[in-house]
Each structure stands twice: as structure tokens, then as C-alpha cells.
Amino acid sequence: MNIVLFEPEIPANTGNIGRTCVATGTKLHLIEPLGFKINEKALKRAGLDYWDNLDVTVYDSYDDFLAKNPGAKIYMATTKALNVYSDVSYEPDCFIMFGKESAGIPEEILLRNKENSIRIPMIGDIRSLNLSNSAAIVLYEALRQNNFDHMRLQGQLHSHTWDEA
């Protein structure tokens, strides 16, 4: 799986998403301009000590991203979409793109990707969910559909065994 952040602005969100990517074996793709420096303290604090284990690529622009990932299946996560995120089938190597916190993915990009645009349902006039929460929601649905491939499905107790219960 691949998470793409189009011009992210808030380092804590990107750090949280980076941590989620490490925990799931997901690649992170960042499209510039970024609203922070990649070595910023807030970014690394949110990603904790996981940031060094993150598979991350930074691109100069959206066109640079497309050129370096030809033929990629890209789902555009946006509040403007017609399709619900849980109603599509995610391929194991797909890309899920999220826009910048203040504006989302530009509408000209969305218009070219109508069929692959997805949304998380919300009630009322809520503008959007937090970016890192949205990324986790959609990513885990995509991982669930792919049977959490390569992920540990059972946890372990530290001081006891489950057989004691």
C-alpha cells in the first residue's frame, strides 16, 4: 500500500501518518511544497522513534509524482467525492492520496479522477476529519480488504498467556 500526501501543511499530521505507515508496512509519498521541513522537530515527535524506519519519498510536484509512478492506481480521498471509501476494492499496490489540510486535493485533479475519488461519510456541515485520522480510516479499510497481508493478527500479553483466561 501507498499513502500520498499532496502538499501537507501540518508536521504533526504527517508525523502521525508516517507512524501509521511504519506500523502497516505502507510507503509514504510526499508531494511538495511541504508546510514544514522534513527534519522538523514536531514531525519527528509525532512519528516518535519510528521515523527512521519509514519508507518515504518526496516529489517536487504532482507531475513529478505521476512521472515516477507511471500507471499507478490512485484513489483520491476528498470530502467532495461521490463514492464512499468502503465501497471500492483496493489493490495491494494502490496509492491513496490525501490533500493539504487547508484546501484538499485541487478540483482539477479530482475532475480527472472522478471514478477513483472516495469520501468518508460525515453528518451535517462538518468540513472534514483530521488528516491523520482520515488516512488511518481509509488505509485500514484497504488493508482489511487485502486480509492484512504480512501483518501480525494476534497480540501477546506481557506477564500472562491467553491460555490462563
Q: Can you point out the beta strands (E) in the chain?
A: 2-6, 27-31, 56-59, 74-77, 83-84, 95-98, 117-119
Rounded percentage of the chain residues whose pLDDT exceeds 70:
93
Return the CATH fold of 2-164: Alpha/beta knot (3.40.1280)
According to the model, what pLDDT value does residue 45 have? 61
Percentage of residues of the chain with pLDDT beyond 90: 71
- The beta strand positions in 7-163, using DSSP E, are 27-31, 56-59, 74-77, 83-84, 95-98, 117-119
pLDDT (mean) for 151-162: 86
Asked whether the predicted pLDDT for residue 150 surpasses 80, the reply is: yes
> Does residue 141 surpass a pLDDT of 90?
yes
Average pLDDT estimate for 5-26? 93
Residue stretches of the annotated binding site for S-adenosyl-L-methionine = 99, 120, 128
Instruction: Evaluate if residue 59 carries a pLDDT over 80.
Output: yes
Residue 9: pLDDT over 60: yes
Nearest of 9, 10, 29, 31 to residue 21 by alpha carbon: 29
Whether 43 shows a pLDDT value over 60: the answer reads no
Question: Is the separation of the CB atoms in 119 and 80 below 8 Å?
Answer: yes
pLDDT band at residue 40 under the 50/70/90 scheme: low
82-124 per-position pLDDT tens digit: 999 999 999 999 999 999 999 999 999 999 999 999 999 999 8
Domain boundaries defined on the chain = 2-164
- Confidence category of residue 22, pLDDT binned at 50, 70, 90: very high
**Residue ranges of the binding site:** 99, 120, 128
